[in-house]
Amino acid sequence: MLGSRTLHGRARWLLTLALTGVGAFAQGSNTAEAKNVPPKPTWTATIGSPTHSAGFWEAASTARFEAFNGARITLHPFAGQPARVRLMNERQRMMIDGKMRVLAMLYVDQGRVEVNTVATDAHVLLFSSHRGIAVSYGGRMEALVEGEYASFANRSGNVLTSTGRRYSPLATNRIKSFNSAIPEGSESSLLAPPKTVSAERQLYAVTSAPVQLAGLSWSPAEKAKGFEVRLTGSDVRYTV
């Protein structure tokens, strides 16, 4: 009887050893397969027809890119010049609000860039050609680089600005501007939008031909030097 129990115990031990070996092999195989999966691109073009040359993306009309972490940037030409940015493949790790975050990075050489970081893990680190640096997360930021000036505006959420030393928070509806004369930057309030905007109801079929808008008007905005009109649907990913 003792010999039978010993034999049974040995068989069970061998079976356990065999199962353990199979489990270890399967785990190693899955790990190897995971390593072979290519990483998600840092930036992916989603809307528009931007061109790529000498490391820069240029957009003569509206174009959009989405980052690996859910952030979206929209490029707009400004003052008759295309937007030009360098989208970096590298990702920056940064401690924000007590947590280590992974940020998508870009460099703005000229033009206007909208940054959307509403998604939970969306964090963007933006450099400009005039020393100014900005971090956006949990909201919307706009960057404008023209001539000798670089400006960052906080539309909503969190924006941090810096010149390479320390980061300072930028409140909602505030703008931080940098140039060679003011290397540390100057801060001011965003202009208030027109109080009223009106237009005639019009229906257009889907067409590539240009159309005209009639009866479009708005109240003047104090200190505004110009206006940009954009038509968007309920899904703001698309601009008409």
Q: Domain 43-189 - what CATH class?
A: mainly beta
pLDDT in tens, 63-84: 999 999 999 999 999 989 999 9
In 10-148, where do the E strands start and end?
Answer: 43-47, 51-53, 56-59, 63-67, 72-76, 83-96, 99-116, 123-128, 133-146
Judge whether 47 and 62 are in contact, CB under 8 Å: yes
pLDDT in tens, 99-128: 999 999 999 999 999 999 999 999 999 999
Q: Rounded CA gap, 58 and 82, in Å?
A: 6
Q: Which residues of 98-131 are buried (b: 16+ CB within 10 A; e: fewer)?
A: eeebebbbbbbbbbbbbbbbeeeebbbbbbbebb
Identify the pLDDT of residue 216.
Answer: 76
Mean pLDDT lowest among 17-26, 57-66, 216-225: 17-26
Identify the pLDDT of residue 24.
Answer: 35
> Is the dihedral angle over the CA atoms 83, 89, 90, 94 positive or is it negative?
positive
Q: Rounded CA gap, 50 and 54, in Å?
A: 13
